[in-house]
Amino acid sequence: MKLRALRLWNVRKFAGRGIAIENIGDGVNVLSAENEFGKSTSFDALHAAFFQPFSGTPKSIQLLRPYSGGSPQIEVDVETDQGRFRISKTYYTGKNAVITEIATNRIIAQADAAEAWISNLMRGGSTGPAGLLWVQQGATEIGGGSNKEKDEERRVREDVLTSVTGDEVEFLTGGRRMLRVLDRTTAKLEELVTNTGKPKTGGPYAEALAELEGLQREETELALRISELRSALDTRRTKLRRLKDLNDPDAVQLRLQQKQDCPSSEHLALKAA
């Protein structure tokens, strides 16, 4: 199966309006847009079209409904060995599922028969290769479900990521490289911190924090010492400038001249007697 188009109407922020992703080609397709442009909404709607029956309204479907209410509608064009088909689903009011053969515009299944057609297309639902639909933004689960269902979804996505080959796809989705990195990261974290995220006693992280604290104290002491030395240097510069002024030849000559012109205190004392 290959995805060829996705169309949404009245889903989340697109209340009373729709969006369409057309002409999805073979190979890797990249959906790129700024935040809040509907990328996650598109992936969640795609997941709902394949795995959420039209007749139910679990939490994942409730989250697709706009605040203003109404009936979310999702269309997915797929290509199989038998041709191209359109999966159409409506939730809440007017709920229904329809499978249409695009070449002839002929409806080949509706309601529960359409859900059975989709299930057969997915070859076993969440236990089949459709787990690739979950590979988005590093998430390991979409929607609710029991713990068993969540564990099953997680295993499916890991299996899909591990089985993906080719440098381009592996760089985009992680693949075996991602799992190896996660394992190494977890092992390193266990060396550094406890389960609550605190530095592990005697570990390299705790030692680094202790060293950091010591260096910060040393930095404070050195800053104080630098301030004292700078003040002493300023005082020394001031005194050197004063000494230079006093030793200036002109200044020395002026002081000698002033001393000659001014009677000494001893001479003034004799004159007074």
Q: What is the pLDDT of residues 29-81, one digit of tens each?
A: 887 778 878 888 888 898 889 888 999 888 889 999 998 899 999 999 999 88
More confident of the two residues 268 and 91: 91
CB 98 within 8 A of CB 112: no
Q: What is the mean pLDDT of residues 84-107?
A: 95
Percent of the chain's residues with pLDDT above 70: 75
Query: In 10 A of CB 131, how many CB atoms?
Result: 22
CB 85 within 8 A of CB 4: no
More confident of the two residues 165 and 101: 101
| CA dist list (Å): 140 to 49, 80, 153, 154, 156 | 19, 27, 8, 6, 10
Beta bridge partners of 166: none
CATH of domain 1-121: 3.40.50.300
pLDDT band (50, 70, 90) for residue 162: low
CB 100 within 8 A of CB 88: yes
pLDDT band (50, 70, 90) for residue 213: very high
Residue showing tokens 């679990």: 58
Beta bridge partners of 90: 73, 96
Question: DSSP string of 121-170?
Answer: HTTSGGGSGGGGGG-STT-S--S---HHHHHHHHHHHHHHHHH--SHHHH
Residue 252 pLDDT > 70, yes or no?
yes
Helices (H), 85-132: 111-121
Residue 115 pLDDT > 80, yes or no?
yes
Q: What is the mean pLDDT of residues 143-147?
A: 55
Average pLDDT, the chain: 80
Residue 100 pLDDT > 90, yes or no?
yes
| pLDDT of the residue at 215 | 95
Residue 268 pLDDT > 80, yes or no?
no
Could you tell me where the beta strands, DSSP code E, fall in the chain? Answer: 2-11, 14-21, 73-80, 83-90, 96-101, 106-110
Give the whole-angstrom CA distance, residue 90 versus residue 21. 18
| pLDDT of the residue at 158 | 55
| pLDDT of the residue at 256 | 82
